[in-house]
Amino acid sequence: MTLYTCRMVRFFPAIVALLAALPLPAAYSGRDLFVPIAGRGIGHDGRAFSTSLWLTNLSGRDPVDVRIAFLQSGHANPSPRTTAMRLGPSETRAFEDLGAGIFGAESAIGALRIEASSDVVAHTHINIRGPADPIAATVPTAFNAIPARFAAGKGQSSIIQGFSTGTSPLLHYKLYLVETTGQPVYLDLDVVDEKGREAADHKLFLAGFEARTIEAREEFPSLNISSGLIRISGVNGSGRVIMAGSQVSTVTQYGTADEMSLVATPRSPLPLTELIAYSVIGAVIVIVLLKRRSG
Reported as a single tens digit per residue, the pLDDT across 212-246 is: 999 888 888 888 887 889 999 999 999 999 999 98
* The pLDDT of residue 183 is above 90: yes
Asked if the model's pLDDT at residue 267 lies above 50, the reply is no
For the cut 70, the answer to whether the pLDDT of residue 117 exceeds it is yes
Q: How is the beta sheet containing 211-215 ordered, strand by strand?
A: 211-215, 171-179, 241-249, 255-259
pLDDT given at position 131: 85
Nearby residues of 211 by Cβ (< 8 Å), 6 or more positions away: 36, 37, 71, 72, 73, 74, 77, 109, 110, 111, 176, 177, 178, 179
Q: How many CA atoms lie within 13 A of 232 on its CB side?
A: 31
The answer to whether 121 touches 83, Cβ cutoff 8 Å, is: no
| 123 pLDDT above the threshold of 90 | yes
Q: Which pLDDT value is given to residue 288?
A: 64
The average pLDDT across 265-291 equals: 63
Instruction: For residues 97-114, give the mean pLDDT.
Output: 93
Question: DSSP assignment of 33-85, as one string?
Answer: EEEEEEEEEE-TTS-EEEEEEEEEE--SSS-EEEEEEEEEBTS--SS-EEEEE
Give the tens place of pLDDT for each residue, 130-174.
Answer: 888 888 888 888 999 999 999 999 999 999 988 877 666 667 788
**Rounded to whole angstroms, what are the CA distances from 203 to 30, 74, 99, 231, 280?**
30, 16, 34, 12, 51
Residue 118 near residue 64, CB atoms below 8 Å: yes
Separation of CA 93 from chain center: 19
Whether 178 contacts 211, CB under 8 Å: yes
- Quick one: DSSP state of residue 136? G
| Least confident segment among 69-73, 106-110, 217-221, 246-250 | 246-250
pTM for the model stands at 0.78
**How high is the mean pLDDT of the chain?**
83
User: What confidence score (pLDDT) does residue 266 get?
Assistant: 45
Instruction: For residue 170, give every residue at least 6 positions away whose Cβ sits within 8 Å of its Cβ, in sequence order, or none.
Output: 249, 250, 251
Backbone angles phi, psi at 286, to 5 degrees: -65, -45
